[in-house]
Amino acid sequence: MERGLTTGDGLSGVGGLMLLVALFLPWSHQLPPSVLERFGGSSGLAGIPANPNAWQVYNTMQWVLVILAAVLITAWANAGWRPRLIRGGLVVVAGAFVLHALIVAPTDGLPLASGGTPAHYLASAAGSGAGERFALVGLLTALIGLALGPPPPREPHRTRPAAPRRRPAATAVNAGPRRPSAPPRRS
Domain locations along the chain: 14-30+51-107+125-149
Q: Which of 9-18, 20-29, 115-124 is predicted least confidently?
A: 115-124
Measure the CA–CA gap between 12 and 147, rounded to whole angstroms: 9
At residue 130, the pLDDT reads 86
Measure the CA–CA gap between 8 and 103, rounded to whole angstroms: 29
Neighbours of 8 (CB within 10 A): 19
Measure the CA–CA gap between 36 and 47, rounded to whole angstroms: 13
Return mean pLDDT, the chain: 75
pLDDT (mean) for 160-164: 70
Measure the CA–CA gap between 104 and 100, rounded to whole angstroms: 6
Record the pTM. Answer: 0.65
